[in-house]
Structure 1
Amino acid sequence: MKEIIFSRQAKRAIELIHHSNKHVFVTGKAGTGKSTLLEYVRNNATKKMVVLAPTGVAAINVHGDTIHSFF
């Protein structure tokens, strides 16, 4: 498996997700690693979490649900 090198901001998001009960909003331009970050977090999660996206295509890409269908 290829080694993933996360930015300082991505590492902070991972810490918040794993070690707090805060909601974390992951955003960025195309190709910045949002889906990779979410996949990493999901694969290393020790607690329940949901991944939501604004559109169906985005939800499929991150193996999540749309915001509308979740609520």
Structure 2
Amino acid sequence: MHTARLRLRLSGSRNKSYSEKAWPLHEKTLQHQHRNILAAVEGRDAQAAQEAVQEHILWFYRLTNIQK
């Protein structure tokens, strides 16, 4: 997701815990997660890719208070 769209999503009414001040931490976390996903895909490690994507999605759900 594009950074501006993600910020907009995070600042929406569904997320009461999001703060612009916290964005640098979230941005670094997202970059780390995306790098892990890409490395697993490039390495053709399906299990690692699955785990990295799952971790990323669950982290985002927790961050935005989205119900599964």
Shorter-chain TM-score above 0.5: no
Q: Which structure carries more relative contact order (alpha carbon 8 Å, separation 6+)?
A: 2
Instruction: From the two aligned structures, give the one with the greater strand fraction.
Output: 1
TM normalised by structure 2 equals 0.28
Higher Cα Rg: structure 1 or 2?
2
TM normalised by structure 1 equals 0.27
